Amino acid sequence: MRMKRFFRKNKSIAIVALFAAVAFALMFWQFGIRSTVNSPRTFIINRGASVGAVARSLHQHNLVISPMTFKMAVRMNGGRVQSGEYDIPRGISSWGLARMFADGDVAATTVTIPEGLTVKQIKQLLLGASGLTGGVECGADKSLPVCNLKDGDLFPDTYRVARGTSRLAVLELMRKKMVALEAEMDRYIRRLPKPLKTWDDVIVLASIVQKETPRESEMPMVASVYINRLNKGMRLQADPTVVYAITNGLGDMQGAPLLKAHLGVDSPYNTYKKSGLPPAPIANVGRSAVSAVLKPADTKYLYFVADGQGGHKFARDYETHKKNHAAWRKIKNKI
């Protein structure tokens, strides 16, 4: 008799538990899986906000049906929410919101920095980029590395950052990525092609290569020309260094032509008048330009000129170069 009573009693408990589980599942579907988000929205979680405060705010903005169900979903996804600005898609449920907030899947903005820009140009680009905040210059405290940027310090790339990230923070990301590239290339720096001696030399020459050609396939040959000229004691005679000098470090003629008279400008960056490398980089460089300088093509080229098709013609001697240059002038005059 005792066994039968025990079985009947526990059977009742099991049935109650089953009904409770079914009721919970129905409730969670009703309030946790269903969505009230009829159109894309933006939602901000302030730093330090509690789960309860977030739940109440979501309910007030008609983004969840039940604050309690949202809090349950949060507990099932790690028990926390991360601050930031979020893009809430149409049709998302309380469960989906809990996952989004737990993962910190904040609204993002993408900034693309092309290779070959100067620091001045990059700052101008960032000032025009949407989704970022603040200026590009530091305040009175200039002690941070990002406050003392020079050309060659930044790594051009596409950066995906949280919406609202400061422009100085993006510059710092770029600076750190360039530092990381130097560390990655350490094994090559130990055996640099002559006459280069330091990483600074590599970046200076890479900045000239970067400005001379957009074609990655050509960069090792362009690098070989300048390496060969340096080893022979010839001046580099690189037009981009003159542009850098006469634009006061902007690096952009803004549509104006580079004239023969410009080649006589008195500047340490003018490689038509000064021997060796310029004193510092003239642009910020990408991986391909750096690799081209570290591993230049094995050539005897000393000259190159545009071929009118986006590339260049290379020459070992001046006579061949003059012919190539004459061909380029004919093409240029027809444009």
Give φ, ψ of 11 to 5 degrees. Answer: -65, -40
Average pLDDT in the chain: 90
**SS3 call for 305:** strand
Q: With contact defined as beta carbons under 8 Å apart, do 76 and 51 qualify?
A: no
Tell me which amino acid residue 110 is.
T
Q: Which band of pLDDT confidence, cut at 50, 70 and 90, is reported for residue 32?
A: very low
* DSSP β-bridge partners for residue 85: 44
Q: Return the number of other C-beta atoms located less than 10 Å from residue 194's C-beta.
A: 8
Give φ, ψ of 96 to 5 degrees. Answer: -65, -40
Q: Which band of pLDDT confidence, cut at 50, 70 and 90, is reported for residue 10?
A: low
- Per-residue pLDDT at 242 exceeds 90: yes
Q: Return the number of other C-beta atoms located less than 10 Å from residue 71's C-beta.
A: 20
Domain parsing of the chain, residue ranges: 2-103, 108-184, 191-301
Q: Which band of pLDDT confidence, cut at 50, 70 and 90, is reported for residue 185?
A: very high
pLDDT attached to residue 115: 98
The tokens for 32 are 């946790």
Q: Which band of pLDDT confidence, cut at 50, 70 and 90, is reported for residue 200?
A: very high
Q: With contact defined as beta carbons under 8 Å apart, do 149 and 113 qualify?
A: no
Instruction: Give the rounded distance of the alpha carbon of 111 from its chain centre.
Output: 6
21/256 Cα distance (integer angstroms) = 76
Q: Which band of pLDDT confidence, cut at 50, 70 and 90, is reported for residue 3?
A: low
Q: Phi-psi category of 303—alpha, beta or left, where left has phi over 0 and alpha has psi -120 to 50?
A: beta
CA distances from 254 to 63, 250, 313 (A): 50, 10, 26
Which residue in this structure is represented by tokens 């809090």?
Answer: 71
The tokens for 214 are 């957009």
Higher pLDDT, 118 or 329: 118
Mean pLDDT along residues 99-108? 93
